[in-house]
Amino acid sequence: MDTKTHRHSTIDTEQYSVLAPIPPFVDICLQSISINRREFSQIIARTASYHNGPRMIEMVRKAGDASAKVPYLMNVGEVPGSILSTLRELAQPHLEHIRSLPDKIQATIHLLLSINAVPQGCERYGLAALLEIDRIQGDLVRTLRHYMSGRQLARHFHENLITALQMLDRDWPRLRQGKGPRWPNSPVPLPERSQMHYVPFFNKAGRLLRLHETCVIVDAPDAHELQRFIPPILQRPLPPNVSVPTPGSADWLIREVGKVGRHFTRALLEIIKDHLAAEQVELDSRNYAQINRYAQDALQEYVNKTP
């Protein structure tokens, strides 16, 4: 009963959810980078190459995995305890690295991952801390993708997420028209597209102040299968008898570090990283002054090079 026909039959595009989250960390980036309307359009164009990542992550979180990392490790013989043990082992070198950083950088990373904010007086460290978080998330995901390649259940779960989104995107024009097109009990129109859409807010001078996202998802086809593998400490919401992970712990890092992966934030950080590499500035949080100084130059260089 593991055929594609059987798996696809569990996908019901009529049962969709409209999400309108405010992506974390964009406001932190905007403290160091001034973005106008043209630059915003160029950055959005870059996010188009990232495919369905954010919606897949939202589907996994809606299914109960706050970390969005458990699906990589699903396999016959795995249990929540063994998956948590593997994730803790992968997180340990990154925790040791964070502990080696200057106190103010550590404090900034801790507060960013805990409540999406920079400690008062540490504003100059915000961008450098985000680059550290982005590096950690990227390294963890690359390693987890390697693990997934040998796990049939994990690959099937990922394939079914992709199929579900493809079906939703195909059906969305019909579904949207069938609803009016309005959100239930709301005067706000349903999104014209089911894919991730960005709504910018500029001030009178044309500078980007904040960003909202809108997208449509469906339930993960194999949500019940996934839930068998989620350790209690990574469940969303946390079970009543489980305490919130302590900042600085492995469970805290596993659960929270993926927040940096939102596409707009990811695009900004990649533009900055590319520029730093070209200028031979080491990607080290201790170089926060150079990172902040080069951030705006990175954006200008990217926009000028992009048609």
Question: What are the tokens at 149?
Answer: 């390649």
Label residues 145-184 b or e (16+ Cβ within 10 Å = b): eeebeebebbbbbbebbeebbebbbebbeebbeeeeeeee
Angle between helices 80-99 and 126-148 (to 10 degrees): 150
pLDDT, position 89: 98
* ∠ Cα 63 65 68 (to 5°): 110
Quick one: pLDDT at residue 2?
40
Helix (H, G, I), strand (E, B) or coil at 123: helix
pLDDT at 9: 45
Q: What angle do CA 9, 12, 14 make, to 5 degrees?
A: 155
Q: What is the pLDDT of residues 59-69, one digit of tens each?
A: 999 999 999 99
Contact present, 60 and 218 (Cβ < 8 Å):
no
Which value, to the nearest 10 degrees, does the dihedral of the CA atoms of residues 231, 234, 238, 243 take? 90
Q: pLDDT at position 273, please?
A: 84
DSSP state of 72: G
Cβ atoms of residues 95 and 253 within 8 Å: yes
SS3 for 215-261 is EEEECCCCHHHHHCCCCHHHECCCCCCCCCCCCCCHHHHHHHHHHHH
Alpha-carbon gap, residue 17 to 13, rounded angstroms: 10
Q: Would you give the distance in Å from CA 29 to the centre of its chain?
A: 15
Greatest Cα pair distance, the chain, in angstroms, is: 59
Contact, 73 vs 86, CB < 8 A?
yes
Return mean pLDDT, the chain. 87
By 3-state DSSP, what share of the chain in percent is helix, strand and coil, each rounded to 5? 60, 10, 35
Q: 196: part of which helix (H) or strand (E)?
A: none
Q: Which residues of the chain have pLDDT under 50?
A: 1-9, 180-182
Amino acid identity at 264: F
User: CA–CA separation, 203 vs 139, rounded Å?
Assistant: 36
